[in-house]
């Protein structure tokens, strides 16, 4: 998938939304949701390539798979929260968007707790 395809879909969707929004804002929101979903689905193949490349590099470096899985989950949460937040902002629901962002941040912190705990234990074991 090229940036030209992504941009073309985005521009067509934006133009359609601009035309429809005056008469039918509900349809404009559906167009925005559909365009965002289509773009996300189109990018899934690229995401798979990224994840498999990172997994290969981690295997070669003998990294613990728990840490890699956690990092990938954090990145996934960040992207999904951003996507949901932007959709809410597009529909004029800024307060809901901020709650989605807050929820994403809390979930990231929950996932980071085991790593932070292991790091603190390692530091405490080094100190006399």
Question: Which pLDDT score is estimated for 1?
Answer: 62
Most confidently modeled of 24-33, 43-52, 103-112? 103-112
Is residue 41 included in any domain, yes or no? no
Per-residue pLDDT for 28 more than 70? yes
Is residue 45 included in any domain, yes or no? no
Is residue 77 included in any domain, yes or no? yes
The tally of domains found in the chain comes to: 1
Is residue 30 included in any domain, yes or no? no
Residues of the domain holding 86: 64-128
Per-residue pLDDT for 70 more than 80? yes
Per-residue pLDDT for 43 more than 90? no
The 10 Å CB-count burial string (b at 16+, else e) for 22-48 is eeeeeebbebbeebbeebeeeeeeeee
Is residue 24 included in any domain, yes or no? no
């Amino acid at each position: 998938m090229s940036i030209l395809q992504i941009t073309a879909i985005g521009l067509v969707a934006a133009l359609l939304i601009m035309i429809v929004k005056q008469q039918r804002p509900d349809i404009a929101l559906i167009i925005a949701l559909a365009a965002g979903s289509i773009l996300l689905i189109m990018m899934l193949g690229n995401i798979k390539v990224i994840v498999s490349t990172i997994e290969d590099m981690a295997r070669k470096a003998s990294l613990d798979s728990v840490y890699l899985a956690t990092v990938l989950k954090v990145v996934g949460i960040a992207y999904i929260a951003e996507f949901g937040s932007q959709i809410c902002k597009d529909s004029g629901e800024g307060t809901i968007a901020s709650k989605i962002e807050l929820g994403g941040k809390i979930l990231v912190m929950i996932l980071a707790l085991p790593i932070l705990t292991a790091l603190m234990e390692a530091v405490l074991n080094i100190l006399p």
